[in-house]
Structure 1
Amino acid sequence: MARAVTSYVASLFGSEELADCVVIFCQAQSDVAKAPPAKRRKKAGAGQQNGPAPPIGDPLPAHRLTLFGGSARLRSQAERWTLEQTAGGSKPELRVPLGSPEDLPHALSALRFLYTGKVDGSSAAQLLQVRRQAAYLLVEGCVEACDTALLDRIAGDLVPQQAGGTARSSGSSPLAPVAELFACRHLLPDAAESGGDTATEVVMRLCRVQLVLHSRAIAASQGTANASGDLGDLLAWAFGDVPSLLCNPGARAQMLRLPVAAMEALLGSDSFATDDEAMVLLVLAQWREANKAPFASACDRLCRLVRLSQLTEDYLHDTLPHIPWFPLSAAEHAFLRQHVSSAGQAKKRQALEAAAAGLYDTTSPWYAAGARPCGRSDLNRRYDWYVDQEDLEKGLAAPQAAIRLTGRFDTGDKRLVSRGLEWFPSIRAKATDEMAGVFIHALAPAALCLPESVERIRLASTSVRVVVCRWAGEGDGSWVEAYSKKYLREEYCTEVGGGLGVPSALPLAKALAAGAPGGDGVSQLRRWSEYLHDDTLLGSLTFV
């Protein structure tokens, strides 16, 4: 389009010139179209008024040609106007409900985009609020433009790293845009909003990139005293809770690149949520594996940030003392157990701490820190689980051998983590069995470097749902559940290194008699055909 035309169209925004409709902004009520969600804001008495919705601001002269082409919601409203309603010369009135008067400038910005193709927003909060209004009004291209502007704002002058080079960012602080977004994080779109799940993940990934690149310098400027303060809160928000972090390969890889100062801030943050303190120890173990030299120089500082007194009793007693790289002597481990057992006995604890004065630091997080926030954000997130047909065929090739199919998750990992352990499902059967079993297993993470020579009996439990699917057929074209089992940690447990499940979970087709057509090795695979499609067997695991 010619520059003169685009400039002229932009000048028509809010102008009476050629205007053939009016946009009226009004307070959302229960009897009008639902407004976009005003996050963290609830108006007293909302939805209890009767009569016309009260207007907000002045009517906006508008142009149906522009609105029709750019907003599906406003076009739908305009098309409902009848010839009788416009016969008297009145212009169609298009009503836009708002959650509050504070939403008006953001709704205006979303409509201005229809005329200018440009996003108004001088801050992350403004961009997110304009995005929300644009998503509600179905303004074509505006949501994507807001997302792009937000990413550009976070990236700043970030440039691709050259070999041996570094990324740079201008401004007083390269993490200022990340901190700005953190301050308005409640405005980030959720999965229910247009493109919200993808947009938020991309934004968070870029925030983590900036934190990896610049957290060392920021920590140095803050000083050790504030290491678990502002920077720690930023890191805990950007990387999320421990279980979800360790189940997300992308975020986990970024965490492994954090410098020592950032790991100190993250581990020391009171905002770093988990389902079990053993998971925090696992984060440190995985970071140690990828950063042997930096860990060696900061071993004591980092390990001191694990809240040992918050470990479960069996982990504290039977796992912690066998981690070879963790700097806890046998004598202090024995004292720590006494200290933990004195919870609720003020005089006994006071006496223990007095006796340990000058020997053990009972003010350190090992002893004194409270429990972290409890939670994992991927609860009820279905992790799809795949087994290749080729693996099944290999198992069937040895009729006397037991088939054990473990597969991989949609994240690319073979195991997921919960409560300090690795978990994975399996399908087991012998080639001649009429039923296949479905099991869930728990393993001690290899990153802990626990010696195999130590005989330990430890039970494990988590709350999880295991599913195996069958193909519904080409007509239905979808997978449906063939088997489902929920395990609640209050009701089930298994030995670490073992598993629990149902040996007769999946009925298999009957084998053909020897010598019958198809009664060869192919018939063994046919027995599993109900659970196979596109050379894949599908299941899922969901933490609940």
Structure 2
Amino acid sequence: MSEAVRNALERRFLSGELSDCDVVFCVEPEHACCAALTEPYTLCTQADGRVLVGAPLPAHLRILCDGSELFPAALERWRADAADAGGEGEGGSDGGTTEARPAKRQRVTAAAAGAAGGPERPQFTVGLWAPGERRLAEALLRFMYCGGLRLHSMADLLRARPVALRLAVEGGVQACDGGVRAALAAAKAAGSEAAHAAVLDVYHCRAVLPEPADAAGADPTGPALLQDVLAFCREALAAHCNHVYPDAATPDAAAAAAAAGAAAGEAAAAAPAAAGGAGVAPPAAAVAAAGVVVPVAAVPGATMGEQPGGGSGPPLGELLAFAFESVEAVFAAHSTYNHLRSLPPQAMEALLASESFATDDEASVLLLVAVWRGADRRCDTPAGQAAVQRLLRNIRWPHVNDAFLLLCAPLVPWLGMSLQRAAWLSVYGRAATPEQRAAMERAAAAAEHSHFQLDAPGHRAPRRPAAGTMTVNLQVQVLVCVQTTVPLSRYVFLARGFTWHVCVVRRGEKLGVALACLKDVYGIPQSTPMGVAFPGQDVVLSVLGADGEVAHSVPCGSANGGEGIRVGSAGTPLLLDWEDRAAEGEARWARYLRAGELHFRVEVRS
């Protein structure tokens, strides 16, 4: 289509020129209670409870019907209703039927249609969830006319996307996706400040972001867009945190800080006053000049996870929890893993203090700290060790599972967990009432067990949100390789503080899928016996068939019949059946292959 034709069609939009129908916007009944919150248009409540938003919009049947599959169906209903109304007017009620008429969700009542131009002019209803969506719906209707989406801000593009899904606008969702990606690319090119501003825009619109892959439903492009948006947010936040908190924990900076002595401490303590009062984090320049790393919680008047330099934005910890989602998500992608390891101590401290960061078990958060600690040699310096100890104060020890708490934690020197404290925490975590926990705390305080750290922020914090199901795709070439030469192929996930691998193993001539539990992240010698561990209470390992349904499954949890896996080894494999023993290569496993891959799933229910 030429540009001149596009411009001519766009000029017809809203003009009424040669229009042959009308579009009426109304708030859906289940959302009508919120209609008074926004008034960009005149609102009118009808007798049936629907809230009309603004005046009808003149439109053109051919363009609407070509641009969305909803309008042809609505037009057929309107024609059928018009024919029924004409028949009733001529023949009265003698020849009528008692059958239910079609739903009226996508059209207005006959009275409203007559008021807007008579029954001979079709009138369609577009349902909104809020009055402010009319502007977005109009932009999508304009897109039907000219093929251009006249929305530019991140908020508008993200909020228009679910409207495009509901209206089934052909190409509308893809146009929104392209606009979001273009906005992210422009923000990234403009620098760290613009990128951080884009992160804030995305965070404020997080309720309308697409669903993850396991709940995408009728939104096939949504999961990919969500991953692109979160990847941008992680990269931008990592850069922002390293800019706001320049790392002074390097060996050279640590030596300079030690030489500065009390002067550095006074400079850091005076930073809030210089910044303009309580509740404001010290400027990055003041912290860098002092030669020390000052945790947010150590600044008088500041709160953990507070947005640096402001106070009006969302807490830094909540931004990080939104971008990194969960402990499991951190290890699901190499780029996510690297972005987290690059975070400065203050950002890690804010993330661990967040109430939105999800995990299967609090012990897995410890594994995250271990990985972050091992990524930087500066953690061996006094400043680095102090930063690690601040992170450990945000660990919610009463929610760590007993297997990790009693078998692993006392063996890791940098955790500072004695057997006495581990046993006390195990009993404390199982206490049935707050009164029992309070009595245990009083007894520990009376015995002067200061190393129990009862004043730590994580001690009384609630359990973190739970994570869910993990699906792993294995290319068929790996199966062939394992069957011929390689004895083991591993795909990592985290559970209950241990690194677990989904292993493809060979048993004679057969192949199987098994779970293996490793302990190398904490620096514990492989020869140290540590007993049996479970990835959860209700865990199922499944191999999926070519149809996507479960072909084989085995329980692996402590409460659903799992046998347990010795730490440092693999469990009993779930063997695959050959489709054809005489076949070669991938043809042997044809019953399992979907798009050339074997799919197996680890479902952690609790």
Same topology, TM > 0.5: yes
In 1, the alpha carbon distance for the partners of 2:142 and 2:587 equals 62
In structure 2, what residue type is equivalent to 1:302?
L
Shift of 1:361: 4.3
C-alpha spacing 1:490/1:38, structure 2 compared with 1 (3 Å)? farther
Shift of 1:183: 2.4
Structure 2 counterpart SS, 1:270:
coil
Structure 2 counterpart SS, 1:301:
helix
Which of the residues 519, 526, 533 maps onto 1:459?
533
C-alpha spacing 1:78/1:6, structure 2 compared with 1 (3 Å)? same
Structure 1 counterpart SS, 2:485:
helix
C-alpha spacing 1:39/1:143, structure 2 compared with 1 (3 Å)? farther
Shift of 1:273: 1.9
1:238-289 deviation line (CA, Å, top 9, x unaligned): 1002123323444223222323332222122232221111110111122223
Q: Tell me what 1:62 maps to.
A: 59
In 2, the alpha carbon distance for the partners of 1:52 and 1:206 equals 43
Matching of residue 276 in structure 1 with residue 276 in structure 2: no
Shift of 1:122: 6.5
CA contact (8 A) 2:35 2:51 kept: no
Give the alignment of 1:525-540 within 5 angstroms. Answer: 528=588, 538-540=598-600
In structure 2, what residue type is equivalent to 1:364?
A
Structure 1 counterpart SS, 2:165:
helix
Instruction: Give the unaligned 5+ runs of structure 1.
Output: 30-36, 44-48, 160-166, 396-403, 409-413, 472-477, 512-521
In structure 2, what residue type is equivalent to 1:92?
P
Which of the residues 217, 224, 245 maps onto 1:198?
224
Shift of 1:202: 1.3
In 2, the alpha carbon distance for the partners of 1:5 and 1:96 equals 27
Q: Tell me what 2:552 maps to.
A: 483
1:408-445 deviation line (CA, Å, top 9, x unaligned): 5xxxxx222222221424454324xxxx5845323124
Give the alignment of 1:388-467 within 5 angstroms. Answer: 388-394=479-485, 406-408=488-490, 414-421=491-498, 422-431=500-509, 436=510, 438=512, 440-462=514-536, 463-467=538-542
CA contact (8 A) 1:246 1:283 kept: no
In structure 2, what residue type is equivalent to 1:416?
F
Give the alignment of 1:205-354 within 5 angstroms. Answer: 205-218=231-244, 222=281, 224-225=296-297, 226-229=303-306, 230-293=315-378, 296=381, 297=384, 298-324=387-413, 326-328=414-416, 330=418, 334-335=420-421, 337-338=423-424, 341=427, 344-354=436-446
In 1, the alpha carbon distance for the partners of 2:555 and 2:519 equals 23
CA contact (8 A) 2:317 2:351 kept: yes
Question: Structure 1 stretch 113-122 or stretch 444-453: which is displaced more?
Answer: 113-122
Instruction: Give the unaligned 5+ runs of structure 2.
Output: 37-45, 87-117, 247-279, 283-295, 298-302, 307-314
Matching of residue 541 in structure 1 with residue 601 in structure 2: yes
Structure 2 counterpart SS, 1:9:
helix
CA contact (8 A) 1:274 1:372 kept: no
CA contact (8 A) 2:35 2:131 kept: no
1:116-172 deviation line (CA, Å, top 9, x unaligned): 54445575443322221122222233323323333444555422xxxxxxx82346x
In structure 1, what residue type is equivalent to 2:18?
L
In structure 2, what residue type is equivalent to 1:145?
A
C-alpha spacing 1:10/1:170, structure 2 compared with 1 (3 Å)? farther
C-alpha spacing 1:288/1:527, structure 2 compared with 1 (3 Å)? same
In structure 1, what residue type is equivalent to 2:481?
E
Give the alignment of 1:151-170 within 5 angstroms. Answer: 151-154=181-184, 157-159=187-189, 168-170=191-193
Return the TM-score normalized by structure 2.
0.68
C-alpha spacing 1:369/1:249, structure 2 compared with 1 (3 Å)? farther
In 2, the alpha carbon distance for the partners of 1:506 and 1:22 equals 60
Query: Relative contact order: is structure 1 or structure 2 higher (C-alpha 8 Å, sep ≥ 6)?
Result: 1
Matching of residue 182 in structure 1 with residue 212 in structure 2: no
C-alpha spacing 1:17/1:529, structure 2 compared with 1 (3 Å)? closer
Matching of residue 108 in structure 1 with residue 138 in structure 2: yes
In 2, the alpha carbon distance for the partners of 1:136 and 1:115 equals 18
Q: Percent identity?
A: 27
C-alpha spacing 1:339/1:19, structure 2 compared with 1 (3 Å)? closer
Shift of 1:54: 6.5
Structure 2 counterpart SS, 1:442:
strand
In 2, the alpha carbon distance for the partners of 1:362 and 1:155 equals 46
Which of the residues 164, 168, 171 maps onto 1:134?
164
1:188-240 deviation line (CA, Å, top 9, x unaligned): 12223532222222111111111111123345874513342400110011100
In structure 1, what residue type is equivalent to 2:327?
V
In structure 2, what residue type is equivalent to 1:388?
L
Question: Structure 1 stretch 58-67 or stretch 115-124: which is displaced more?
Answer: 115-124
In 1, the alpha carbon distance for the partners of 2:32 and 2:479 equals 44
Q: How many residues are paired up? A: 482
Structure 2 counterpart SS, 1:388:
helix
Shift of 1:336: 5.3
In structure 2, what residue type is equivalent to 1:168?
G
CA contact (8 A) 1:241 1:273 kept: yes
Structure 2 counterpart SS, 1:542:
strand
Q: Which has the higher helix share?
A: 2
In structure 1, what residue type is equivalent to 2:567?
V
In 2, the alpha carbon distance for the partners of 1:11 and 1:540 equals 54
Shift of 1:62: 0.7
Q: Tell me what 1:474 maps to.
A: none
C-alpha spacing 1:455/1:84, structure 2 compared with 1 (3 Å)? closer
Shift of 1:380: 3.8
C-alpha spacing 1:13/1:369, structure 2 compared with 1 (3 Å)? same
Q: Tell me what 1:73 maps to.
A: 70
In structure 1, what residue type is equivalent to 2:127?
P
In structure 1, what residue type is equivalent to 2:456?
S
Shift of 1:18: 1.6
